[in-house]
Structure 1
C-alpha cells in the first residue's frame, strides 16, 4: 500500500484539476448509466416503472422550514463545548468520522436556511477544525473509527478508550473529505485550516489502486480490506475523487452490478457475496440520497436511485405498509441496523454489521422520507411525510422513525437523522452542495 502523504500544496489549479478529473469520470458514467437502463429493461421490461428525474430546487414551505428548525435543535443540544464535536446519538459522548461529516453538511444547511447566523456558524467551524488538528490518528496515519466527543480520546464503538485504536473507515473518511470540500466552497477563508488538517492524513492509505481501503485490528495486527459495497462505494469514490485520489475503479457500479426483481422493480444488487467478502451488501436509501444532496446524481446514480425508491413505493402499493428504508440507529438492541430493499440474498432484510437478521426492527425512516421527498416530491412521499410529521416534538430534534412491526416510535435521536433532514431541505431549496443538477 502507498504511504505517500498528501502534501497540502493546493493551489486553485490543483482543486479545479481534481474537480475536472471527477467530472470526466462522471461523463463516462452517464454512458454506463444508459447501458444499465437498457440492460434492466431487457430483463424486466413488463414490470419496470417509469423513470423519474430529480426535481429542480423550489421554494420551501412553512412546514419545511419548521422541520429544518426542529432538526437543528439536535445540534444545539448535543454539541460539546470543549471540542465542537457533536454526539452521534443524543446524550452519548461518542462519534464517528461519518457523523462529523454529516455535521458539516448540517451546519452549512442551517446557515443557508437562515436558522443560525454567520457568526454562530463561524465559531462552530473554527472549534470543529481546531479539534481535527488536535485529534490523535490511528497509527499516525488516518482518523480512528471512533472518538470521545468531550476529550477526543481514541475509543471503540462503545466509547471505551483504546490507545491503539480500532482502525479507520474509508467511507467515513470520504464523507468528511466531501464535507471539507463543501465547507471551503461555502467559506473559502477556511481553506488554510482545512489544508492543515489534511496535511496530517495519509490519504494514499485509504484510496489507492482504484479502490477504497479500510483498516481493522485483528489479533494485534492491522489488516487492510477493500471497503464499500454498491451505492456506498460509489459515494465514497466520488468524494475521494474531489481530492485527486486514485479511485477510478470504484467510481462506477458497473463492474459489480447485477439485477434482482423486488416488487416488480429491477433493483441493483452487488455481485460480491458476503460469504466471500465478509461484508454486508445492503441496497437502501442512504448513499443515493447523499450523492444527490452533496454532489448531484450522474446518469448512473439517477437510474439506481430511482429503482431503489420505486421498489419502496411498490411495496406500499402491494401491501399497504408505509415503506422508506435506510440505515438507522435504534432505541433498543442491536442499536444500529441497515433496513434494506435487498441485502445478503433477501428482499427487505434488516441486518446488522455482522449480517444477522433483525426484520422486526424495520422502520419507516425519518431521514429517508425527507430525502426522497426532496428528490422526487411524489404523492407517495408526501403521504409518508404525513406519518413522520406525527412524531412527537420533544425539543431534541427528529426521532429516527416508526417501527413497522409495532407502530411504536423509534425514539432515538441521532445526528445523522437530523443532519440528513437539514441536507434534504437544503437540496430542496438550493440543489447539491457541490456539482450541478442535471
Structure 2
C-alpha cells in the first residue's frame, strides 16, 4: 500500500490528467466512439475493426526473447554512471536511448526478468546521474553524452564542452518513464523530482509547441527551432501534458495533416515543407507503436497507427517483401537510415538524416516487427515475428533487422531495438505501460 505522503506527492498529477483529457477532447474534436471521426475540416472513418491483441502471459519462447533483449543492457551498462551505451560497445547515448533503457528496466522488472533489488539499484543510479548531468546553457540535456564520463559530446562522441543543442522530442520521450515512476513506483518520486528541478523543461515549450535548440550558424550560442512532425510531435507532447505543461498546439493533429494514399490506404503525413522548415517529415512505425504500447493510443492515433501498419501489410501483399519500417542503426555507412512509409514527397522512401538516398539499405526492422506483433493479432503480424525471430545473439541481444536487397542480417545491436522489444513483450502481458491504476509491483 502506498504511504499517505506518496499520495500527497502524486496528488497534483490528477489535476494534470484532467487537463490532458480536456486538451485532447478539444484538440482532436472527436464526435463519438464509433470511429466516424472529425478532425478539423477532415472527416474519416475506420473501415474495419482494429484487431488489438488481448493481454496474456508470455509463452516460454517469448520470455526467452525478453531475456535476450535484457542481455544487451547487461553488456552495455556503465557501472560508474548507471547509463547504458546506445550502440553495442560504443560509450555514448542520447536522451531517447536513455529513455529506451529506463523503459527496458521497467519492462524487465514487470516481466520478472530481473529482481526488484536489481531494478531499484539500477533505477536509483540512473536517476541520480540524470540529476547531475551538465546541461546545454544550464537548461536542458545535450543531444549526446559520453556514458563513461558524462561529458557532453557530438554525435561522433567527441567532447563538445558547450553541447550541440537539445532535442525536445528526446526529452519528451524520457518523460514517459518519469511519469511511469511517479505513478507506479512512488518510492522514486524524490529522485524524479530532483531531475526535473535540474532540467528547465519549460524552455522547450513555447506557445503550446515543442522547441529544440541547435548551434547558431554564425557566432556562439543556440537558436530555438520548432521540433516534431505528426506522430512524434503528439507522442512527445503527451508526456509533457501529463506533467502539467501547455502543449495544446503540439497535440493538434489537424493543423498540418495531409492524408495521402499509399498501397490503397490513406495514411497521415505532415504537410510542412522540409525545404522551408528544415526538418524531414518521416512516416515510420516507431512513434505509433510507442504511443500504443506506452499510452494505449488515443481515438485518433489508434486509427492512424492501424493505417500505417496496414499500408506495410499491403506492400507485402503486393511485393511479397516483409515490411516493417522504422528508423534504425545499420552496420555500414552511413550507420543510420530512416526507412519510411512516406517522407519528403516519396512513398517507401529510405533516406539519411541529411535527406540523401539510402534505398539500397532498406531493412525489415526488428523493433517495428515486435511492436506491430504486440499491438495486433493478425496473420501478418505472425509473419512479421517469424521473419525476425532468429535475428539475435543470445549473448548480445537483438539485431536491428534484415536487409531487403539480399536478406542479410543488419547486425547493428542497439539500446533502442532491445528496449522496444522488451516494451512490446511487457505490453503483451500487462497492457499499456503507462496504465495508471494497474499494480505491477508484484
Match of residue 61 from structure 2? 63
The alpha-carbon deviation at position 36 of structure 1 amounts to 4.8
Trace 1:265-344 onto structure 2 (pairs within 5 A). Answer: 265-344=265-344
Match of residue 192 from structure 1? 190
Trace 1:92-107 onto structure 2 (pairs within 5 A). Answer: 92-107=90-105
Match of residue 180 from structure 1? 178
Partner SS for 2:190: helix
Partner SS for 1:248: coil
- 1:109–1:422 contact (8 Å) kept in structure 2: yes
Partner SS for 2:38: helix
- 2:81–2:150 contact (8 Å) kept in structure 1: yes
CA change 1:169–1:58 in 2 (3 A) is same
Is 1:35 matched with 2:27? no
CA change 1:280–1:237 in 2 (3 A) is same
Relative to the length of structure 2, the TM-score reads 0.92
User: What RMSD, in angstroms, separates the aligned Cα atoms of the two structures?
Assistant: 1.8
From 200, 208, 212, give the equivalent of 1:214: 212
Match of residue 159 from structure 1? 157
Map Cα deviations across residues 166-224 of structure 1 (whole Å, 9 max, x no partner): 00000011111111111232311110111111101111111121100000002323100
CA change 1:300–1:55 in 2 (3 A) is same
> 1-side partners of 2:40 and 2:276: how far apart?
28
> 1-side partners of 2:110 and 2:121: how far apart?
16
Give the length in aligned residue pairs: 423
Greater shift in the superposed pair: 79-88 or 24-33? 24-33
Partner SS for 1:161: coil
Q: Any gaps of 5 or more consecutive residues in structure 1?
A: 1-9, 43-47
The alpha-carbon deviation at position 11 of structure 1 amounts to 3.9
- Structure 1's consecutive aligned runs of 4 or more residues displaced over 4 angstroms after TM superposition are 36-42
- 1:139–1:164 contact (8 Å) kept in structure 2: yes
The alpha-carbon deviation at position 23 of structure 1 amounts to 2.0
The alpha-carbon deviation at position 39 of structure 1 amounts to 4.6
Is 1:54 matched with 2:52? yes
The alpha-carbon deviation at position 20 of structure 1 amounts to 1.7
Q: Any gaps of 5 or more consecutive residues in structure 2?
A: 1-7, 438-442
The alpha-carbon deviation at position 51 of structure 1 amounts to 4.2
Match of residue 114 from structure 1? 112
Map Cα deviations across residues 21-62 of structure 1 (whole Å, 9 max, x no partner): 1122233437077125995658xxxxx863415333122212
- 1:51–1:303 contact (8 Å) kept in structure 2: no
> 1-side partners of 2:350 and 2:39: how far apart?
26
Match of residue 414 from structure 2? 414
> 2-side partners of 1:404 and 1:22: how far apart?
41
